[in-house]
Amino acid sequence: MTGKIQQLTVGQRVEIQISGLNVPARFQTDFVGVIKGRWFIVAMPDAKRYGELREHLHEGVPLIVRFVLENDNGEICAFRTDIDFVVNHPTKMLFLDWPGQVESRVIRQGRRFDAFLPAEINRLTEDNGSDLTDNGVILDVSETGCRLKHKYSTDEEGEPQKPDWESGQRVQLTVQQKGNGEVKLGCIVRQIKCKEGECELGMQFNGNQKDAINALFSGSLVDINALARSGE
């Protein structure tokens, strides 16, 4: 499936994770090109933004590369590789070993895939103010919506005190992502399940948010292990 790489365009943003560190370290950089069967070439990440990470980028370091293909289906792709060598002239670039396999998943046609994205939840009033702010986790995402979970308080009888969700309520989700910064998404509550101190919400994304939704997909959302399991 390495043919997916041939669909990348020069200058397209790709996300790279240094998988050998104890602490997850990710950065975004520009795709430069390929020498088919030998190297996948990207620019060295920006020194001002990723100065500390650059110290870990040297020969032999294992990486995970992720990118989004905006083709007829729309796919998230990922593969494992190592840094073969680093060049400094005419500009700093990373030459990565050609992968043996590229995993991919379609993100169109309402398909969902697992995620774990901390998010701030703001329930909106009629005048677009907020009458509830809470923190939760996005569990899975598709191009049309997501499933989200957060904790809630109960009264003495175990009944939810808040947030008294109702289908059709409007919500703004805010997700902080490395590389993409802050991503805001407008949603409508469609499904509600509250049990044992946790509330699970099915959200439908508002229309005309393609850039924000793509930012979710391209920014630290794909798990290479999840992709591998999906093909089993």
Contact between residue 174 and residue 119 where contact means Cβ atoms under 8 Å apart: yes
- Domains annotated for the chain, with CATH where assigned, are 2-106 (2.30.110.10), 113-218 (2.40.10.220)
What pLDDT is stored for residue 112 in this prediction? 66
Of 86, 85, 92, residue with least CA distance to 43: 92
Strand ranges, E, within the chain: 13-18, 25-35, 39-43, 62-69, 75-87, 93-97, 103-106, 113-124, 130-141, 145-151, 170-177, 181-195, 198-205
Residue with tokens 């365009």: 9
Contact between residue 83 and residue 94 where contact means Cβ atoms under 8 Å apart: yes
What pLDDT is stored for residue 86 in this prediction? 95
Convert the pLDDT of each residue in 25-38 to its tens digit.
788 889 999 999 99
pTM of the model: 0.53
Answer positive or negative: Cα dihedral of 70, 72, 74, 78: negative
Of 144, 73, 83, residue with least CA distance to 105: 73
What pLDDT is stored for residue 188 in this prediction? 93
Q: How far apart are CA 174 and CA 59, in angstroms?
A: 37
Q: What are the backbone angles phi and psi of residue 36, rounded to the nearest 5°?
A: -55, 130
Residue segments in the chain with a per-residue pLDDT below the cut of 70 = 1, 20-24, 70-74, 106-114, 153-163, 178-180, 217-232
